[in-house]
């Protein structure tokens, strides 16, 4: 199943203290919602990698739940390193989780991902190159049609 990656997706996966600190850091005076920006960037990067090996959900920001643990590790790392006062929450285990997430993203061709529901499958884009010619279109096909 494909789910939308949002700030709430991340906030629901961390401790209450971390979530409160992230909300405060992300919604500081005079700034836009940084967590939404980070979520959009993380989702788009993972979706870009997935496009090389499978069709993706046509809805913006949707990612496969099979990879959610790795996507959240990437999201958490980026949030903790981008927002002020949050880097102290990055311990060795979280950095290792982020490293593992990067390994998974770099080897997506070795993982089977469930395709999105047919209603939401992104249309495959054509390469713009003509396909190979099997027969001259002005004469009979070599296949006998």
Beta bridge partners of 121: 57
Mean pLDDT of the chain: 84
Q: With 80 as the cut, is the pLDDT of residue 51 above it?
A: yes
Cβ distance 104 to 70 under 8 Å? yes
Q: With 90 as the cut, is the pLDDT of residue 140 above it?
A: no
| Residue 126: per-residue pLDDT | 47
User: How much is the pTM?
Assistant: 0.77
Give me the residue label for tokens 């002005």: 138
Read off the pLDDT band of 108 (50, 70, 90): confident
| Residue 83: per-residue pLDDT | 87
Q: With 70 as the cut, is the pLDDT of residue 124 above it?
A: no
Give mean pLDDT, residues 99-126: 82
Lowest model confidence (mean pLDDT) among 16-30, 59-73, 77-91: 16-30
DSSP string covering 127-138, please? -SSPPPPSS-TT
Beta bridge partners of 64: 2
* Strand ranges (E), 1-145: 2-4, 62-64
| Residue 134: per-residue pLDDT | 52
């Amino acid at each position: 199943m494909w789910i939308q990656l949002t700030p709430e997706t991340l906030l629901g996966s961390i401790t209450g203290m971390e979530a409160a600190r992230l909300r405060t850091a992300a919604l500081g005076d005079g700034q836009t919602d940084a967590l939404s920006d980070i979520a959009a960037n993380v989702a788009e990067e993972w979706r870009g990698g997935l496009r090389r090996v499978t069709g993706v959900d046509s809805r913006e920001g949707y990612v496969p739940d099979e990879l959610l643990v790795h996507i959240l590790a990437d999201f958490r790392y980026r949030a903790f390193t981008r927002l002020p006062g949050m880097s102290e929450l990055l311990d060795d285990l979280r950095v290792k989780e982020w490293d593992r997430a990067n390994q998974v993203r770099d080897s997506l061709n070795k993982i089977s991902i469930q395709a999105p529901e047919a209603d939401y499958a992104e249309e495959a884009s054509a390469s713009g190159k003509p396909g190979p010619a099997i027969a001259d279109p002005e004469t009979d096909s070599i296949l006998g049609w």
